[in-house]
Structures are given as structure tokens and as C-alpha cells.
Structure 1
Amino acid sequence: MQTYRPPSQTGTLSVVTGTGGLGYEVALSLARAGGRVILAGRDAGKGAEAVARIAATVPGADVAYGALDLASLRSVREFASRLRRQETVVDRLINNAGIMSPPELELTEEGHELQFGVNYLAHFALTAELLPLLRAASDPRVVSVTSLAQHYAKFDIDNLRSEKGYHPGRAYCGSKLLQAMFARELQERSNAAGWGLKSLAAHPGFAGTNLFATGGGVSRFVSTRIILLLIGQTAAQGAQPILYAAGSPVAAGGSLYGPTGFMQMRGAPGPGKYAKIVDDQALRDEVWRRSEDLAGVRYG
């Protein structure tokens, strides 16, 4: 598979959530392209290790770690506040970090189901908090990392947070559908309000990341790794659609990008398809309204 390499990122600043897996690979490629990168995550040790690895691979790379716990909206506000004091522009925001299917119900600091809170709501809030810095950029992009799991979500607007009858897989699929809906609606609102943003979604296909270590038992983990070897791809390959969305001059705002090979699980990056429910404008409006209330933010 031919590797996609983003165009020169010299003079740009990218914020990437998640210090391992896809986040690391995206940050590494953006650093190679000459961009400044802030890798944001909750584990300072892992963050420092990721920064050191990139610095060793790309001499002179301008990469830093930023403390951000997506299970806490307070931490999101603090991270964004620090960034607004230190920077004047953010060119790329990669809403990537996530967790997958904790076997038991876990809650964020604010009491939201953990996958809803980390995968979706914290990124919804972070984007709102960084909107002034994004709008100050010449070609700002927000890339929300979704999943093929969006197509399997059983969506219930009255159980938006997955707090009723917790099921690990159902909550994960729902959080990834919400990320896809957010990417599409953010572009619509940018167009209407003149924010100048390009909002895109991307998914990695079936990529070998540390998401699979989150839960589900040893046997499931082992079987998943075997399947990955047969039909999946590496984290570096899974990062390709994210990089394409973040850097390609022909990537269209509001669009979804993913692997174009076997069942969209692997292969070169290209256009993908949203779940049909993402087309429901009225539903997206209602989800947006409720998300603003739950996150305590307002766009505009």
C-alpha cells in the first residue's frame, strides 16, 4: 500500500488527542512534515515517552505534551485555557483519543458513561473551547476520528449518554456514531456562520491499536489479534485516513475518509460512507443542542 504523506506543515500547529496508537502515528507524520504538534493525554509518563520517541525519529521535531484528561470536562477547560493563553492559532485539531468497551459501567468526573464522555462529549467541548484559535488560522481543520462501528449503532436520543441498561459494545458504537454526526454538523454550522472551518471525519478501518486492550477478556483480545493479522492493518496504516483528512488539499469539508480496501478495513485512504442516520438534519440539531447543555459550552 502506498503511504500517504501530508504536505508541508511548516508554520502550523496541530493538537492531537491521544498519545499512543493512532494519535502517536498522526503526530509523528505531522512532525515529519515540519509542523508543530501538541500531543494531549492524561498520562504524563506516556506523553513524555511519545514525545521522546518522535524526537529521536525526527531530529529537530517541535513536539510537546499537553495534560488533558478527557474523562473530565474541567480538565478540558483547563487545557484549552492554557492553550488560549500560550497560542494565537491552532491549524489542526485531531479529535482522536478514545476507549473501547469497558466491561463494566464506568463514569466520567461529571457522571457520564465513560465512552460517551471520552470519545464524544469531551471532544465536542474541546472543539468549542478552541474555536477562537481555529478561526484565527488560514486553513483550519477539525478531524473527528470515528469508526466502522457507527454503522452498527442502535441510536436512542433519550439514552444519549448510554446510562440506561449499559452494554459495552452498544455504548461504543453510539459514541462513534455521535463523533460522525458531530463532524458533519460542525461543517454545516461553520458554513452557516462563516467560521471558515473544514470539519471532516475519518476512521482507521480495522487497525491494531491499544483500544483492544481496554476490556473484553483475554480470549477476546487474543482472537481479535489473530483477526487483525489476517484482515487488519497496523496503527501506522490506520492513521492514513486521518492524515489524509487533516492534510489533503482535495479532502472535502463534511466528508468521511477511511481505508478503501477489503470491507473498508484496510487499504489506501479515500472517501467513505457515513451511517444513514447521519443524514437526519433534525436529529443532528437535537443532538447538538443536548450536547451543548451537557458539555456546558456554546458555539459561536
Structure 2
Amino acid sequence: MLKLKFTLLFLFFISFGFSQEIEVKKLEINTKLDHFAARVVNDKVFFSSNLVTKRGRAISDHFSQELFGVYSGTVGNNGEIKDAEMIKKTEYGQFNMSVTTHSRDGKYMYFTGNHSKKGEDKLKDEKVYNLLITRAEYVEDEGWTNFVDLPFCDPAFNYAHPALSPDGSTLYFIADVEGTKGKSDLYKVSVSDHKSYGEVTKLSDSINSSRTELYPFVSTDNKLYFSSDRKGGKGSLDVYSYDLENDDPEQIAVSLDEPINSIGDDFSFFLNDDLSTGYLSSRRLRGEGRDDLYYFSGFKSKN
């Protein structure tokens, strides 16, 4: 009897230990094309993927840069994305858009697009259509309409990867404007009713590094997640977290453990409201294409 109790107790602890481990699963929607930046909004999931020809080949612009579109689907079992199709939009034809963030009610969407005016690529010393952030509004029976480029987006610089705070009052993003510490830094701006915006502010040096910061996301418990290729990571791009409610001046951004981070590029981290499941984009070993989507469960915050 004593042996049986010990065995059951042992099995309990083993089972409990396994239940706390993070599981990362490659999604069936992945192909040889890029799939990244999954975001769950109510009963839908939005993600970015290549614009393709009728033969399924990726479309590129005149600068040989591949073009992307935003797709939406429904969340199936174990995070699988079902019934995906390109979002319905008005006013614009086929154009480059990716990496969305949405208001809690799903009415407003911010995404990365391109300026209609040319700016300067200082590294290549040529004129290019730099990235900017655009806001769109969803109108029933019409789709996405009322596209408005955010007023602070200067054509001379890049602005990308928007991420709304849970209460919708702050928009985080990356930019390479003057004063940027690395190739791109994290910035924020206040949002008023999704119609007006405050002064752009760069996040602190405890978050930004001398390298590249990308893909911010803020969870419902107000933690900032982003990717960086700073020194000390497990791969080229790794996911980091920073507690926005912690006012400790000594706080630094913390690299997430495996299997969220790998020796490959890991980015565009998204955490569901349950704070334990979500989506990750990665270019890791045994992937289907270049950038693939993964679903994870059993996550616990490090901060």
C-alpha cells in the first residue's frame, strides 16, 4: 500500500511538472512562403503572408522587395488557423501591408505599409518608399476602409510594427528616425479615440540597445515583448520581455527561455489574454519555409 501511494505521488509530480512545460507546435498553414505576425482579435486571427501570383509565386516590387498582405482566419484546435483568406478592404487595390494590431473591439486596425512619397535610403544612397503606419476602420458590409496614414510618419524614415496597449491608449512601434540608437528602436505615442496622436517618445535605454529592436507586443498584464539581435542571445533574433509596470530603475529586458527562443530567428511574439498560450514567428530548424508560424502553450512570464 505504501509503495502504491509513493508511486501515485511520484506520478503526480511528474505529471504536474510536465504540465508546466512550454510546448511549441508548428502550424499546418505554413508553406514555403513566409507566415508571420499572428494576432488574435475576438473570434478571428490575423497574420501576414506573401502576396502571390496565380501560380502561387511571391510577388516583388521594383526594388526586388517581396510584397505582403494581411490574412484572417479562425482559431481551430491547438491554435491551428482555419479558413484563411486575404482581408476585405476598400479604397486600395493590391498593395503592401503587414504586421497588424487591433483595437479590442476589432473596429480599428493599424498596419505597416509604404509611403506614397519617396524618402532616402541613406545606406544605399537612393530614393525608396520607406515604411509607415496606417490606420484603417472596419465598416460592416464594406470591409476595411477609411485608411489614414499616421501624421508623425515622415517619408524620410521608416515606421513599422505597430502594437496597441491593452487599453488602446498607447501605440508602440519601431522607427529609424534621427536619434535612434541602433538600426531601429522602440518608440511609443499616445492615442486618442484612434483619431489623434501625441508626441512620439523613444523608449528607455534599458529596453533599446545599440542593435536592432523589432516587433513589439504588449500583453494584458502590461508586459512588453519584442525581438532584438543584441549580444547574448541564443540566435540572431530573440524574444525579450520587459515589465512596463515595474519602476525599478535597474530593470533590464529579459531573454525568454527555450523553446520560445532558438538558434534561429524568433520574433513577433503574441500572448493571448489567458497569458499562457499564443503565437510565435520563427525561422528555426525543421521549418516549412522561411518565416513560419508556431502556436505555444504552457507559457509563464519571466518578469
Q: Which structure is higher in RCO with an 8 Å CA cutoff and minimum separation 6?
A: 1
Query: Which structure: larger Rg?
Result: 2
Structure 2 length as normaliser, TM-score?
0.30
